[in-house]
Amino acid sequence: MLRQLKPWRASLAVRLPTSSAWSQSSRAALLSSRSFSSNSVLYDADKIDGNAIAKSIRQEIQKEITEIKRVKPQFNPNLVIIQVGDRPDSSAYVRMKLKAAHEAKLSCELRKFPDSITEAQLLEEIEDLNDDTSVHGILVQLPLPKEINEGRITDAVSIDKDVDGFGTLNIGELSRRGGSPLFVPCTPKGVMVLLEKHKVELRGKNAVVIGRSDIVGTPVASLLRAADATVTVCHRYTQDLASIVKQADVVIAAVGVPDFVKGEWLKPGAVVIDVGINYVPDETKKSGKRLTGDVDYASSAKVASLITPVPGGVGPMTVAMLVQNVVDSAKRHYQEQERRHVTPLPLRLQKPVPSDIDISRSQHPKKIRDLAKEVGITDHELIPYGAYKGKVSLHALKRLEHRKDGKYILVAGITPTPLGEGKSTTTMGLAQALGGHLGKMAFANVRQPSMGPTFGIKGGAAGGGYAQVIPMDEFNMHLTGDIHAISAANNLLAAAIDTRMFHEKSQKDASLYKRLVPKNKFTPSMLKRLKKLGIDKTDPASLTKEEIRKFARLDIDPDTITWKRVVDCNDRHLRTITVGEAPTEKGDIRQTGFDITVASECMAVLALSNSLHDMRERLGNMVVASSRDGVPITCDDLGAGGALTALMKDAIMPNLMQTLEGTPVLVHAGPFANISIGASSVLADKIALKLVGSEPGENHEEKAGYVITEAGFDFTMGGERFFNIKCRSSGLVPDTVVIVATVRALKLHGGGPDVKPGQKLPDAYLNANVDLVRNGCSNLKKQIQNAKSYGVPVVVAINRFSSDSAEEIEIIREEALAAGANDAIASNHWEEGGLGAIDLAKGVIKAANEGSHDDFKLLYDIPNTSAEDKLNIIAREMYGAEKVELSPLAREKIERYTKQGFGNLPICIAKTQYSLSHDPNLKGVPSGFTVPIRDVRASVGAGYLYALAAEIMTIPGLPTYAGFMNVEVDDEGNIDGLF
């Protein structure tokens, strides 16, 4: 563990080992407090050996760093020194600092810049260092060239890295009575340590400081006053200076004049600290000059009781204090990272519960910078988008790679019904209970909602009631533009496909090749295509005619194009369109269509990527069509992989928001749940797991926090894909599955009357009916068994409504436990926020700590299982089907993908979410059915195949009465009408 940092006054104390470098008189002086006498007697002053004390401090620092590293290997205090120009004195000082840092085992880097560097350039360098979390101290070697404002430069250094203590904030805090500077300037701090080490009593004594500089005189006077000395600050022009000095018990000379203070000025027995560094002519020295202080040492040593020599007094201490400040800065940085704590926002609960948008607007969110600081996201890792949302840089993953991941919780549900189960609301309520009431670090990770359902019939996905993401309107509309970036990337690729076919049709091989490689240089994407073709050449001029033809002609078969354009809107009239109608397209007409943006493979790639590099490779590998020879055509064959990555390079960073109670939420990606994983991104989960994780040496079970993420639809669909596709990509293993159920939804599965959104509920759903509940629990039991088959603990969350009876709740609990659930707990987070989910949170904590990743297993092997066998395994084990039946088209597609090398990919099935089967009318737990697979498609870049068991609309239509009709904006810019 890092030692607890003490206030700066206490931190001045440094243990002093006994050393042979110390004289007997110095050792005696150390062991007895100094007394002061006004008697006119001569003293033979003891020399204060700054070299010995500084050496002992460096040794202690080295020992401390070694001790901390033994527990925390990542601890690495790092100092960066900035030097402008080549002044000999500056270079000498820098060499001393580098040497001292090396002796103390600090990382230390010198960045030298020419005199010609501008102030703006220097400020930019400092800003970069301020943002670098691996740097704990920044020292700008003074003086700077006269064209550069020194004050502006020293103030630019972040206060928490200002190890010189020259910044306005640190100096101001030091000067203020009771102030708390993060750093004390090194020379004044060294002076105080010298006095402390020699047990010089300062309380009530007279101290005279000669010199008023901001670097030494003023701060050392503040330190002496803080030690209860009576301080007089003088300078070389002070009248009757000798008489003033004569009254001093302690004299600090920092005037910058050689031998300025004479022995006859001193009070007998005074303690003299000479801070001066002056060079005077001396023909006896090889250099022609010698170093002297501000005090005439020869005469003063006969009067003083203690005196510092020059050199060998304060100078070495200055450097030692610099090293100490860097170590203190590093310790403070690591302690702040370990002290992560989220301060919850209070809720003002109302009954009846207002609308979601009214609840959202009634809460004043935390500023996103404040929330980021609470959870341990550094300033340079946060990119704010307004006041209440921001992006989190992937640099956080690298910085925190040493941490052990926190606990990983997956929220899924029973088979959905029109009544809804409340997975998103439960996700938020659980996070609010863990983070706002049980003192745990807890992230909720959710998908970004498409504006299709937001303006359609379903609404957004912010949760609801007193368990939701805020601000709700920003969450549901645009957010930070990720979906728009994906639209742009997807449509660029669509344009590239049609354009390439057009140009290949209208040009011969040589001219086509010349236009493709106009600068006679291959792009990175072109080099990938050459490698794919087996052409080991990098010089465009070296290709043969046959190689030119193979390289330049993709020869796309229009009938095999799978890539569509996208728009983030429900628009049924774009499902089938014709392109190429303009006369300029020369009759190159083909039929295609639009998908909703979240159905784009680009979105799936975003969700499943593990890094920016991984996303670049996946985007380049996306297969958009086949050639007439059956060769898969990729995004990189079209040369578009780099451009798509450029459009999505910001979108890869997760978005930070917050729950209604001020706990953190990462919102990222939103892959279409029918044909993809229907879950938030791998990167959001990985970053959150590190942010809530434990440091080496900490008790993981006590310190680890929780990341609650959500799977689309029920566990049979969303959970199965989460494990077999998302977990394969991420390598992560959930610690617990939470399955959400409601009394109402179970009644529907148990044979209750049909319901339709917006219509009055039949009495069966408003009054107790234990038979319907018990019958419907068959669906819940199947979901529990499915989840348990992966070797993960299961907790059932009973999302409670006011109409639910205690007997109905108890029946669900009995049936869940009988099916193997670790627990089944009622939760009222919609009405009460985190307070209503405390019991659920405790149950999740218990289950997460009881499980073991050693028990985890996936549903099927990848290399040893054919695509058809995988489909059969999913249908039998997850759905309860007898088998799948492939259409001729589906079988032909599987054979093609297998031949092309894609048969070893995981697979998912696009089917209705309203039944365990492919038929939405089959409620409860149907059995003995056959799942018809009419088509199979490939998302090669994302890394999976998907089979279609039903007609899945990848761009929904709008209803007669659509959600957008409710939306209005008032004169203040507030959005109303969202639900």
pLDDT for residue 89:
81
Q: How is residue 887 written in tokens? A: 């259409």
Q: How is residue 798 written in tokens? A: 């009973």
Q: Is 251 helix (H, G, I), strand (E, B) or coil?
A: strand
Neighbours of 494 (CB within 10 A): 21
Catalytic residue among 97, 205, 782, 923: 97
Return the higher-pLDDT residue of 519 and 448.
Answer: 448
Q: What is the mean pLDDT of residues 355-384?
A: 93
Neighbours of 961 (CB within 10 A): 10
827 bridge partner residues: 799
Write down the residue that tokens 């989190």 correspond to. 392
Q: Is 18 a residue whose pLDDT tops 80?
A: no
Write down the residue that tokens 């959870």 correspond to. 375
Neighbours of 173 (CB within 10 A): 20
Q: How is residue 723 written in tokens? A: 């494990």
- How confident is the model over 225-277, as pLDDT tens digits? 999 999 999 999 999 999 999 999 999 999 999 999 999 999 999 999 999 98
pLDDT for residue 820:
97
Distance CA 842, CA 839 (A): 5
Q: Which of 908, 794, 909 is nearest to 850 (CA)?
A: 794
Under 8 Å between Cβ of 208 and 250: yes
Any idea what DSSP says for residue 713?
S
The answer for residues whose C-beta is within 8 angstroms of residue 834's C-beta and 6 or more apart is 344, 429, 431, 432, 433, 434, 435, 436, 437, 467, 661, 663, 841
The answer for residues whose C-beta is within 8 angstroms of residue 932's C-beta and 6 or more apart is 884, 885, 887, 918, 949
Q: What is the mean pLDDT of residues 870-887?
A: 96
Under 8 Å between Cβ of 224 and 209: yes
pLDDT for residue 969:
81
Write down the residue that tokens 């058809």 correspond to. 868
Q: Is 530 a residue whose pLDDT tops 60?
A: yes
Under 8 Å between Cβ of 684 and 653: no
Under 8 Å between Cβ of 769 and 711: no
Q: Is 26 a residue whose pLDDT tops 70?
A: no
Neighbours of 934 (CB within 10 A): 16
pLDDT for residue 42:
57
Under 8 Å between Cβ of 795 and 410: no
pLDDT for residue 968:
77
- How confident is the model over 846-860, as pLDDT tens digits? 999 998 999 999 999
Q: Is 535 a residue whose pLDDT tops 70?
A: yes
Q: Is 687 helix (H, G, I), strand (E, B) or coil?
A: helix
Q: Which of 541, 494, 485 is nearest to 513 (CA)?
A: 541
The answer for residues whose C-beta is within 8 angstroms of residue 646's C-beta and 6 or more apart is none
Distance CA 313, CA 319 (A): 11
- pTM of the model as a whole: 0.87
Under 8 Å between Cβ of 425 and 837: no
Taken in order 452, 678, 375, 331, the sign of the CA dihedral is: negative
The answer for residues whose C-beta is within 8 angstroms of residue 613's C-beta and 6 or more apart is none
Q: How is residue 76 written in tokens? A: 């690495």
Taken in order 244, 245, 251, 254, the sign of the CA dihedral is: positive
List phi, psi (to 5°) of 845. -60, -45
The DSSP secondary structure of 537-603, one letter per residue, reads: ---GGG--HHHHHHHH---B-GGG----EEESS--GGGSSEEE--SGGGTT--EEE-EEEGGGSHHH
Strand 883-886 with 930-933, pairing: parallel
Name the least confident of 399-408, 585-594, 685-694.
585-594
- Going by pLDDT thresholds of 50, 70 and 90, the confidence category of residue 453 is low
- Going by pLDDT thresholds of 50, 70 and 90, the confidence category of residue 19 is very low
pLDDT for residue 821:
98
Distance CA 33, CA 614 (A): 66
**Could you tell me the CA-to-CA distances from 669 to 349, 625, 651, 655, 956 in Å, in that order?**
31, 25, 8, 9, 19
Q: Which of 479, 353, 462 is nearest to 979 (CA)?
A: 462
- Going by pLDDT thresholds of 50, 70 and 90, the confidence category of residue 421 is confident
The DSSP secondary structure of 792-804, one letter per residue, reads: --EEEEEE--TT-
- How confident is the model over 179-214, as pLDDT tens digits? 889 999 999 999 999 999 999 999 999 999 999 988
pLDDT for residue 456:
62
Under 8 Å between Cβ of 468 and 462: yes
pLDDT for residue 591:
93
Q: Is 28 a residue whose pLDDT tops 60?
A: no
Distance CA 666, CA 681 (A): 9
Name the least confident of 484-498, 696-710, 783-797.
696-710
pLDDT for residue 951:
80
pLDDT for residue 503:
95
Task: For residue 141, indicate whether it is catalytic.
Answer: yes
What are the structural domains, with CATH classification, of the chain?
A: 356-480+650-850 (3.40.50.300), 483-648 (3.30.1510.10), 867-948 (3.10.410.10)
Q: Which of 300, 293, 265 is nearest to 279 (CA)?
A: 293
The answer for residues whose C-beta is within 8 angstroms of residue 552's C-beta and 6 or more apart is 504, 509, 512, 513, 516
pLDDT for residue 699:
85
Q: What is the mean pLDDT of residues 87-94?
A: 87
Task: For residue 391, indicate whether it is catalytic.
Answer: no
Compute the residue count for the chain: 979
Distance CA 234, CA 306 (A): 21
Q: Is 404 helix (H, G, I), strand (E, B) or coil?
A: strand
pLDDT for residue 492:
97
Q: How far is CA 27 from the centre of its chain?
A: 52
Q: Is 944 a residue whose pLDDT tops 60?
A: yes
pLDDT for residue 921:
87
- Going by pLDDT thresholds of 50, 70 and 90, the confidence category of residue 320 is very high
Distance CA 451, CA 454 (A): 5
Task: Give exposure, 276-296, as e/b (b: 16+ Cβ within 10 Å).
Answer: bbbeeeeeeeeeeebbbbbbb
Q: What is the mean pLDDT of residues 463-476?
A: 91
Q: 314 — alpha (psi -120 to 50), left (phi > 0) or beta?
A: alpha
% the chain with pLDDT above 70: 94
- How confident is the model over 675-698, as pLDDT tens digits? 999 999 999 999 999 999 998 878
Catalytic residue among 83, 141, 324, 432: 141
Q: What is the mean pLDDT of residues 152-162?
A: 93
% the chain with pLDDT above 90: 76
Catalytic residue among 49, 160, 162, 164: 164
820 class by beta-carbon count within 10 Å (0-12 exposed, 13-18 middle, 19+ buried): middle
Write down the residue that tokens 């006053």 correspond to. 225
Distance CA 840, CA 825 (A): 6
Distance CA 344, CA 660 (A): 9
pLDDT for residue 966:
72
Task: For residue 164, indicate whether it is catalytic.
Answer: yes
Distance CA 184, CA 917 (A): 70
Distance CA 923, CA 415 (A): 9
Q: 646 — alpha (psi -120 to 50), left (phi > 0) or beta?
A: alpha
Long-range (24+ apart) CB contacts under 8 A made by 346-352 are 346/661, 347/466, 347/660, 347/661, 347/833, 347/835, 349/466, 349/831, 349/832, 349/833, 351/831
- How confident is the model over 33-52, as pLDDT tens digits? 444 444 445 568 899 999 99
Q: Is 23 a residue whose pLDDT tops 70?
A: no
Distance CA 379, CA 131 (A): 7
Q: Is 108 a residue whose pLDDT tops 70?
A: yes
In 357-462 the beta strands, taken as DSSP E runs, fall at 382-384, 390-392, 407-413, 442-446
Q: Is 946 a residue whose pLDDT tops 80?
A: yes
Q: Is 230 helix (H, G, I), strand (E, B) or coil?
A: strand
Q: How is residue 719 written in tokens? A: 């959970």
The answer for residues whose C-beta is within 8 angstroms of residue 400's C-beta and 6 or more apart is 376, 690, 691, 693
